[in-house]
Structure 1
Amino acid sequence: MRKKRSVRAILERRKRRFFDHSNEVMIGKVVGVHGLKGDLKVRSESDVFERQIEKTPEVSLYRGTKKERLEVEYVKPYKEIFLVKFKGINDRSSAEERMGGEIYIGKDEQVPLEEGEFYYHQLIGLKVVDESGREIGKVKSIMEQPASHILEVETESNKEVLIPFIDQFVKEVDLKNGKIVVSLIEGMED
């Protein structure tokens, strides 16, 4: 008879990392499949996903305890995400096996970023201030939503402030000085 694991044990096991990503950057996540020929729906994790994946002939796809190197056949924009075709994934069931997978590249393979571009992992831990310079908190994570990404900001008092990552609210991302300048409307911090 199999020993039943507690919810706590299951969650702790999920937190453990099987791979060391210290020399890699996640650029996308497989969120679905498209059609019958093996196209994957990929949500971008950077401002430069399409340019990045076109310049990188091979990427690493991680899913659970599995890692595979895949050669990019093509990438094309599709609604708010991208359709990516990898060589060797030629049918829907093969594509479905990659659902939930994370796409990484080596840090040395990153394309140079232009003014105003960044990778989302660079935002974690940045100080968030309003336009007058008042500190709101630090970026704890980035939530992916269909309309826009949302900055999850943790305040000094451990409150959570959710800020849509759109021009109306995010006025400046200053990686050099480690801060994000935002303009909040009444009630956003409540």
Structure 2
Amino acid sequence: MEDLLKVGVITTTHGIRGEVKVYPTTDADRFLDLEYVLLDTGREKRKLEIENVKYFKNLVILKFRGIDNINDIEMYKKRELWIPREEAQELEEDEYYIADLIGMDVVLEDGSKFGTLKDVMETGANDVYVVEDTKGEEILLPAIRECILDVDVEKNVMTIHLMKGLI
């Protein structure tokens, strides 16, 4: 399991006072409860204390303590924001962190290997799991109960049922 979870990506600056627009990869309201995030600078993870949170359309606007000028933050466009796992929200039943799913072995109901989960697409209605099968082909699986039978994060295994028409 990953020790850090991605909560967003800085898209651009907002104004000249050091604020940034962030595309959230978690519930946008989550930022109201966070005291800090870890900025991936490319070389290290830099701790930034959150001073203010606002919203604009589907983006979160963050102001960090000690960053008061556009020049102090502009170089971090397109950089990811992370939090330690212990700061993460409690999950409901049948909810998983995407970081825990990526790389998971995918097996069929009979236990035979089907492939590896490569990505998760968030579509709104339900997530779609991108699985690379044993032949190297990409298969899209809807994250619905009829298709995803079991997810075992500890064993790193997802059991699926292939519905007609999926492959």
**TM-score normalised by the chain length of structure 2:** 0.69
Point out where structure 2 has 5 or more consecutive residues left out of the alignment.
none
In structure 2, the CA distance between the partners of 1:79 and 1:134, relative to structure 1 (3 Å rule), is farther
* Post-superposition offset of 1:121: 0.4
For residues 6-155 of structure 1, the aligned pairs below 5 Å read 23-46=3-26, 48=27, 50-51=29-30, 53-126=31-104, 137-142=115-120, 151-155=129-133
Q: Check conservation: 1:170, 1:180, Cα contact below 8 A.
A: no
Amino acid at match of 1:96: E
CA distance in 1, matches of 2:94, 2:128: 18
In structure 2, the CA distance between the partners of 1:170 and 1:103, relative to structure 1 (3 Å rule), is same
Q: Counterpart in 1 of 2:144?
A: 171
Q: Check conservation: 2:131, 2:139, Cα contact below 8 A.
A: yes
Q: Counterpart in 2 of 1:18?
A: none
* Post-superposition offset of 1:112: 1.3
1:157 to 122, 135, 140: 135
**TM-score normalised by the chain length of structure 1:** 0.62
CA distance in 2, matches of 1:74, 1:80: 17
Q: C-alpha deviations, 1:46-91, integer Å up to 9, x for none?
A: 3x4532x333312211111143211112333433332222122223
Q: Check conservation: 1:32, 1:40, Cα contact below 8 A.
A: yes
Q: Check conservation: 2:2, 2:99, Cα contact below 8 A.
A: no
Runs of 4+, deviation exceeding 6 Å? 182-185
Give the paired residue count. Answer: 158
CA distance in 2, matches of 1:84, 1:182: 42
Q: Counterpart in 2 of 1:5?
A: none
CA distance in 2, matches of 1:175, 1:49: 25
CA distance in 2, matches of 1:150, 1:96: 33
Q: Check conservation: 2:21, 2:60, Cα contact below 8 A.
A: yes
Point out where structure 1 has 5 or more consecutive residues left out of the alignment.
1-20, 164-168
